[in-house]
Chains A and B, each alone.
Chain A
Amino acid sequence: MEKKILTSRHTGDSCIMVKHSSGLTIFICEMPGFSGVDALFGTKYGSVNTMFRTAADSGYTTVPEGIAHFLEHKLFENEECGVFELFAKTGAMCNAFTSFDKTCYLFSCSKNYEENLEILLDFVQKPFFTEENVEKEMGIIGQEIMMTNDNPEWRVFFNMMENMYHSHPVKTDITGTVMSIQDIDAPLLYKCYDTFYNLNNMVLSIAGNINAEKVLEICDKCLKPCADNGLETVFPEEPEEIVSPEVCETMPVGASIFHIGYKCAPGDGIERLKRTSAACIALSLITDPAMPMYDRLLKEEVINSTFCGEVFYGSGYFSLIFSGESDDPKRVRDSINAETARLISEGIREKDFQRIKKSAYGMMIRELNNVEAVSNLMLNAYMDNVGPYDAIDVLYELTSSDVTDFLRNEMHTDRCVLSVIEKEA
């Protein structure tokens, strides 16, 4: 077992990182003064991992869309009872989520964290899939899919992704479709489970009112050692170009909404973190109410305070997304393109850069105030192949030239997709 203490040189915050003998990576952050405990047990397995093989496989396996999410639902049922019933005995709040590149199981509690941790580690390591319980879940997930299809924010995002990516599975809905989940059965779920729920591909992140030694003692007791299975996930070749620059759908909404996405080069690890940091500052500059573009569009009633940006990335994809409500989204897109060109040609004012940087720093420090945020920070660091406090260090080192370089090299107008959900006439 390898154990390291990671400390932020800027805030003094620290956590423990352990490479457990079982293969699992464990992050522990003791937070004196807090009552709650948040724990996440996650795997690098999400909706984009539809094609894979292990060292033991002769060829690649391709699975139906939505299977990672389906598996997450089914893991909540073990042979004796539902997992919710186990946590109900301790009072913990438990949940799970599946995103594009990860699936996580979590609990939040203020008492009995030791017992809760044992339940969490135990049920995630004990799959129980049968034809009957898979069939039963079809109706529930079918309703979840219908619900998300009625969500305009969800639709505007996926319409944009479908027009940005030619073949990368990030363009498909995390939950799959009512049709695609019909192809899921118990043997296929076991195949995915055995491939991705290998402890060498997983992380436990726990923060709050805990004792690190006790956490490790429970891990020693509950984790079943497993050999690295030589997992390899592959993605279809994805060109740099987008599919189509504009897409519009009509839905029953009260106001039109838009997503404007810029397809950028994918990356990984610390290199991607540096680009993410530059991208975040670039987004903040463009969506900053103090900057002329925002001020002008706000006064002309083209945007409102919902206008914002986010960096969206994972295995094989990276994009910048602007979103909001507007009756004239093309004008918003054109304004973003013009503002980007202006920032590249005139350069970023150092005063603005330092102000935005300070703002980003302030938000990062405030995150460390919160047990849930800290457990997520450590989990995401593992998923991104970086350290939990690397983002603060990278931000410290960031210069305005890094941001200008990012704008120049990554925000190409010909790789921009405008997606709009329009209200019915």
Chain B
Amino acid sequence: MIYQRSCIGNGAGFTSVIDEKFKSRSLSVFFITELRPETAALNNLAVSVLTNSNSRYRSYAAFSEKLSELYGAMLSSTTRKKSDSQILGVRASWLDNKYAIDGEDISGEMRELIKDCIFAPDAADGEFSEESFAISKKELLDRIDCELNDKHSYALMQASKLAFRGEPAATASYGNRETALAADPRSTFLAYQELLKTARIEIYYVSPEKDDSFADMFRECFAGMERAPIDLHFYCPSPLKPEPETISEEFDVNQCKMVMSFKTDTQDKYALKMASIIYGELPISKLFANVREKMSLCYYCSSNSSFVKGTLSVDIGVDRCNIEKAKNEILAQLEEIKNGNITDEETDGAIMALDNAVQQCGDTPSSYISWYFDCFCDNDFITPEEHFARFRSVTKERIIAAAKSLKLDSIYIMLNKEVHD
């Protein structure tokens, strides 16, 4: 594997990974900007329009036809958040030329297609085409309307809104209904121009052989562009509420959901992650072993932590009559860690699981992209081995200290309407 990162413009980086084992090529372009309620939906719409059409293929039908001609090449947009930042992506993957039955230059065609999507989208007179915009707008509104369809992710989203109330991170990565409804082709195009000017841009290209043509294309396109990229601050810990808050909603559901959010001011990110794994990220973790296996209260009960927001959350699906019992046990298991009741099997299991996960970095193009993008966000370009070594050096005392720093901030509960205690 050969890795190389270069600067291709002001606040724009291009990372190339060559790994001959792959039969396909993958490219991701990330625009990183501030997550704000007033711009999140517009930014989401902008990158969505980019992957529906471009100035050469001016309808979704023509654009899709071209992608399927290129052996089902994939080109799509993504939006997610990391801390108080919004990360918008244009992702593409396609079959390597050597597998083309009729000797087509799939990579060359994809390069031109991507170039047009990003630098020559379907827009004129300062606005995106109405047709492409309308498709993206309906997609976004439908996605927002569908939030309640998946009860688990809805509960997590509501818990996030509660825990981060008043902070950028309370906004969904794709924005809200009001700003999506108000968006039009002009305001969305303007948002895209702003992204091109101010977003940090990181591009990742994974290919089975050396190919500088994508880096050259992006370098050339950014050369004539006026850029004023923003400063990035991913570490934005969320303040602890003066008193823990609980919010509940009732729905006509069978199973209740509960999400408990804890806050921490720890600076020890490796110890926080270890504490979270021991607490509830694995099937040998305390929550799984006790809340599920010993007490049979649930099918799932797990934890997840975010160092950059200073949070740890626990989520569970449970019967209404068992909510208090589950809550008490979840808190009791955290106390166990705080009191140092951590076995060698638990710490060894966490280390082994991390080692296993880290070693598989590089088995898919997307795992390379995730790894190097995370390094960029952490401003810490280390190898998977170095990353693992840092976890290995975490002592039991540091895990206990990280656990002790966790304070209950808020609880979101989705209640079942049918049963009334």
**Which of A84, A85, A108, A251 makes the CB contact (< 8 A) with B252?**
A251
Q: Answer whether residue A252 sits at the interface, using C-beta atoms and an 8 A cutoff.
A: yes
Docked complex Cα distance between A152 and B153 (Å):
13
Interface size class of A (residues with CB under 8 A): 35 or more
Per-residue CB contact flags for chain B residues 88-126 toward chain A (1 = under 8 Å, else 0) read: 000001110001010000000000000000000000000
Docked complex Cα distance between A5 and B145 (Å):
51
Q: Answer whether residue B5 sits at the interface, using C-beta atoms and an 8 A cutoff.
A: no
Are A366 and B142 CB-contacts (below 8 A) given A147-B317, A150-B151, A288-B64? no
Pair A355/B24 contact, Cβ less than 8 Å: no
Are A254 and B146 CB-contacts (below 8 A) given A35-B363, A136-B296, A355-B69? yes
Q: B residues within 8 A CB of A151?
A: 150-151
Per-residue CB contact flags for chain A residues 78-89 toward chain B (1 = under 8 Å, else 0) read: 000010110011
Tell me how many residues of B have a C-beta within 8 Å of chain A: 75
Q: Answer whether residue A358 sits at the interface, using C-beta atoms and an 8 A cutoff.
A: yes
Q: A residues within 8 A CB of B317?
A: 143, 146-147
Pair A144/B359 contact, Cβ less than 8 Å: no
Per-residue CB contact flags for chain B residues 345-371 toward chain A (1 = under 8 Å, else 0) read: 100110111111101111111000000
**Which of B62, B354, B356 makes the CB contact (< 8 A) with A290?**
B62
Tell me which residues from 42 to 83 in chain B have a Cβ below 8 Å from any Cβ of chain A. Answer: 59-62, 64-65, 67-73
Which one of A234-242, A297-305, A411-419 is at the interface?
A: A297-305
**Which of B22, B93, B135, B352 makes the CB contact (< 8 A) with A90?**
B352
**Which of A147, A251, A362 makes the CB contact (< 8 A) with B299?**
A147
Pair B21/A32 contact, Cβ less than 8 Å: yes
Q: Answer whether residue B20 sits at the interface, using C-beta atoms and an 8 A cutoff.
A: yes
Are A356 and B68 CB-contacts (below 8 A) given A35-B360, A369-B364? yes
Q: Answer whether residue A409 sits at the interface, using C-beta atoms and an 8 A cutoff.
A: no
Docked complex Cα distance between A109 and B135 (Å):
42
Pair B356/A143 contact, Cβ less than 8 Å: no
Pair A305/B139 contact, Cβ less than 8 Å: yes
Q: Answer whether residue B148 sits at the interface, using C-beta atoms and an 8 A cutoff.
A: yes
Docked complex Cα distance between A252 and B95 (Å):
41
> Which residue of chain A lies nearest to B366 when distances are taken between CB atoms in the complex?
A370
Q: A residues within 8 A CB of B354?
A: 91
Pair B345/A370 contact, Cβ less than 8 Å: no
Docked complex Cα distance between A140 and B144 (Å):
32
Q: Answer whether residue A248 sits at the interface, using C-beta atoms and an 8 A cutoff.
A: no
Docked complex Cα distance between A299 and B419 (Å):
44
> Which residue of chain A lies nearest to B256 when distances are taken between CB atoms in the complex?
A146
Are A140 and B292 CB-contacts (below 8 A) given A295-B61, A362-B73? yes
Pair B19/A33 contact, Cβ less than 8 Å: yes
Q: Answer whether residue A92 sits at the interface, using C-beta atoms and an 8 A cutoff.
A: yes
Q: B residues within 8 A CB of A361?
A: 71-72, 101
Pair A91/B352 contact, Cβ less than 8 Å: yes
Pair A140/B146 contact, Cβ less than 8 Å: no
Q: B residues within 8 A CB of A111?
A: 355-356, 359
Are A143 and B318 CB-contacts (below 8 A) given A298-B135, A371-B363? yes
> Which residue of chain A lies nearest to B316 when distances are taken between CB atoms in the complex?
A143
Pair A149/B71 contact, Cβ less than 8 Å: no
Docked complex Cα distance between A369 and B23 (Å):
6
Pair A290/B93 contact, Cβ less than 8 Å: no
Q: A residues within 8 A CB of B255?
A: 143, 146-147, 149-150
B360 to A: closest C-beta gap in Å: 4
Tell me which residues from 291 to 344 in chain A have a Cβ below 8 Å from any Cβ of chain B. Answer: 291, 294-295, 298-299, 301, 304-306, 325
B368 to A: closest C-beta gap in Å: 12
Per-residue CB contact flags for chain A residues 144-188 toward chain B (1 = under 8 Å, else 0) read: 101101111100000000000000000000000000000000000
A93 to B: closest C-beta gap in Å: 7
Pair B149/A253 contact, Cβ less than 8 Å: yes
Q: Answer whether residue B210 sits at the interface, using C-beta atoms and an 8 A cutoff.
A: no
Q: Answer whether residue A365 sits at the interface, using C-beta atoms and an 8 A cutoff.
A: yes
Pair A255/B299 contact, Cβ less than 8 Å: no
Are A109 and B72 CB-contacts (below 8 A) given A255-B149, A366-B93? no
> Which residue of chain B lies nearest to A295 when distances are taken between CB atoms in the complex?
B61
Pair A325/B292 contact, Cβ less than 8 Å: no
Q: A residues within 8 A CB of B245?
A: none
Q: Answer whether residue A34 sits at the interface, using C-beta atoms and an 8 A cutoff.
A: yes
Q: Answer whether residue A289 sits at the interface, using C-beta atoms and an 8 A cutoff.
A: yes
Q: Answer whether residue B408 sits at the interface, using C-beta atoms and an 8 A cutoff.
A: no
Q: B residues within 8 A CB of A363?
A: 72
Are A358 and B72 CB-contacts (below 8 A) given A143-B255, A254-B146, A365-B23? yes
Are A362 and B95 CB-contacts (below 8 A) given A90-B352, A255-B142, A289-B60? yes
Docked complex Cα distance between A363 and B93 (Å):
10
> Which residue of chain B lies nearest to A363 when distances are taken between CB atoms in the complex?
B72
Q: A residues within 8 A CB of B359?
A: 35-36, 110-111
Are A325 and B142 CB-contacts (below 8 A) given A257-B149, A355-B68? yes
Are A252 and B253 CB-contacts (below 8 A) given A88-B353, A370-B364? yes
Docked complex Cα distance between A304 and B141 (Å):
11
Pair A295/B283 contact, Cβ less than 8 Å: no
Docked complex Cα distance between A109 and B360 (Å):
8
B103 to A: closest C-beta gap in Å: 13
B151 to A: closest C-beta gap in Å: 5
Name the residue among A136, A147, A301, A365 with the largest chain B CB count within 10 angstroms: A147
Pair B252/A424 contact, Cβ less than 8 Å: yes
Pair B69/A89 contact, Cβ less than 8 Å: no
Docked complex Cα distance between A363 and B95 (Å):
8
Pair A85/B149 contact, Cβ less than 8 Å: no
Docked complex Cα distance between A110 and B364 (Å):
13
Q: A residues within 8 A CB of B21?
A: 31-34
Q: B residues within 8 A CB of A11?
A: 23, 99
Pair B148/A360 contact, Cβ less than 8 Å: no
Are A88 and B356 CB-contacts (below 8 A) given A254-B147, A362-B71? no
B109 to A: closest C-beta gap in Å: 13
Q: A residues within 8 A CB of B355?
A: 91, 110-111
**Which of A89, A143, A291, A355 makes the CB contact (< 8 A) with B352?**
A89
B82 to A: closest C-beta gap in Å: 24
Q: Answer whether residue A212 sits at the interface, using C-beta atoms and an 8 A cutoff.
A: no
Q: Answer whether residue A359 sits at the interface, using C-beta atoms and an 8 A cutoff.
A: yes
**Which of B23, B68, B149 makes the CB contact (< 8 A) with A358?**
B68
> Which residue of chain B lies nearest to A32 when distances are taken between CB atoms in the complex?
B21
Pair B253/A150 contact, Cβ less than 8 Å: yes
Docked complex Cα distance between A150 and B153 (Å):
13
Q: Answer whether residue B233 sits at the interface, using C-beta atoms and an 8 A cutoff.
A: no
**Which of B65, B94, B293, B357 makes the CB contact (< 8 A) with A82?**
B293
> Which residue of chain B lies nearest to A361 when distances are taken between CB atoms in the complex?
B71
15 additional contacts, CB 8 Å, given A91-B355, A140-B299, A143-B298? A82-B283, A88-B283, A110-B360, A137-B296, A139-B297, A141-B299, A147-B317, A151-B150, A253-B148, A254-B145, A365-B23, A365-B24, A366-B93, A369-B364, A370-B363
12 A-B residue pairings within 8 Å (CB atoms): A88-B349, A92-B356, A94-B283, A136-B293, A139-B297, A143-B298, A253-B146, A253-B148, A358-B101, A361-B101, A362-B72, A368-B23
Which 8 A-B pairs have CB atoms at the shortest separation, nearest pair first?
A91-B352, A362-B71, A139-B296, A110-B359, A33-B21, A359-B72, A290-B65, A88-B349
